[in-house]
Homo-oligomer: A and B are copies of this chain.
């Protein structure tokens, strides 16, 4: 099964046009023709069965045959705030894997030790979209622009965590700290970790310090492990 994306398609609509880029993909690359049925999502939980009614390279038009709403596969809201890695590839891996495993919102953050100060947000958006379609999900994680660490401190959430690698007896292991079915916010630092000042600042803003196990993990591995810890804590409520 292949899934297509149309951000504006809503459940009461009976027909729609794809964007030029998506039309080209459907008609030119995949050689879909008038009469072919395709499955489409708007990334907001809606799935549509559609029939192609016009198949021009720059204009692919569809008629909606059926609609179904799919709730998210997970019953929590996870906002990951991660410092982009020096190597862009590694951050892109995180975006793809977090989307596959389950994440609702992603904010790349700029911290004291960040080496990467610019991001390619359009490219990131495409990676997330493609991972959503590939993993057959109907909810597109929200991607925010690069944000300074100071500006994320007052975002509200039920549980707010900062993962750091300083020796600190007060750090809980993330998996233990997760209360199921909550609104979570989790910060992961860059290669050089958060500064001690940043950690202090976060603690003053009701963040809890967490660790992600005994091994020293790279930024992107830490971020993916964290998404997965939250996913399994929520899907094994009696474990």
**Is A225 engaged at the interface, CB distance under 8 Å to the other chain?**
yes
The distance in angstroms between the C-alpha atoms of A224 and B216, with both chains bound, is: 16
Task: Give the number of times this chain occurs in the complex, counting copies.
Answer: 2
State whether A232 and B232 are in contact (beta carbons under 8 Å apart), knowing that A215-B100, A221-B97 are contacts in the complex.
yes
**Is A214 engaged at the interface, CB distance under 8 Å to the other chain?**
yes
B232 touches A213 (CB 8 A): yes
**Is A166 engaged at the interface, CB distance under 8 Å to the other chain?**
no
Chain A contacts to B: CB under 8 angstroms: 73-74, 93, 97, 100-102, 134-137, 173, 175-176, 213-218, 221, 224-225, 228-229, 231-232, 235-236, 239
Query: Shortest Cβ distance from A178 into chain B, in angstroms?
Result: 10
A217 touches B135 (CB 8 A): yes
State whether A100 and B214 are in contact (beta carbons under 8 Å apart), knowing that A225-B228, A228-B228, A239-B175 are contacts in the complex.
no
Q: Provide the residues of chain B in CB contact with A213, threshold 8 Å.
A: 101, 231-232, 235
A176 touches B239 (CB 8 A): yes
Q: Pick the contact of A215 from B73, B175, B176, B239 — CB < 8 Å?
A: B73
State whether A235 and B173 are in contact (beta carbons under 8 Å apart), knowing that A134-B218, A215-B137, A224-B224 are contacts in the complex.
yes
The distance in angstroms between the C-alpha atoms of A74 and B213, with both chains bound, is: 10
Query: Shortest Cβ distance from A163 into chain B, in angstroms?
Result: 14
Q: Provide the residues of chain B in CB contact with A225, threshold 8 Å.
A: 101, 228
B175 touches A216 (CB 8 A): no
Q: Knowing that A137-B215, A175-B239, A224-B224 are A-B contacts, what are 12 other residue pairs whose CB atoms are under 8 Å apart, sorted by A's residue number? A: A73-B215, A93-B93, A97-B221, A97-B224, A101-B213, A101-B215, A101-B217, A102-B215, A134-B216, A136-B216, A175-B235, A213-B235
Q: 9 nearest interchain CB pairs?
A: A73-B214, A135-B216, A100-B221, A175-B232, A136-B216, A228-B228, A175-B236, A100-B217, A225-B228
Query: Shortest Cβ distance from A60 into chain B, in angstroms?
Result: 25
The distance in angstroms between the C-alpha atoms of A228 and B214, with both chains bound, is: 12
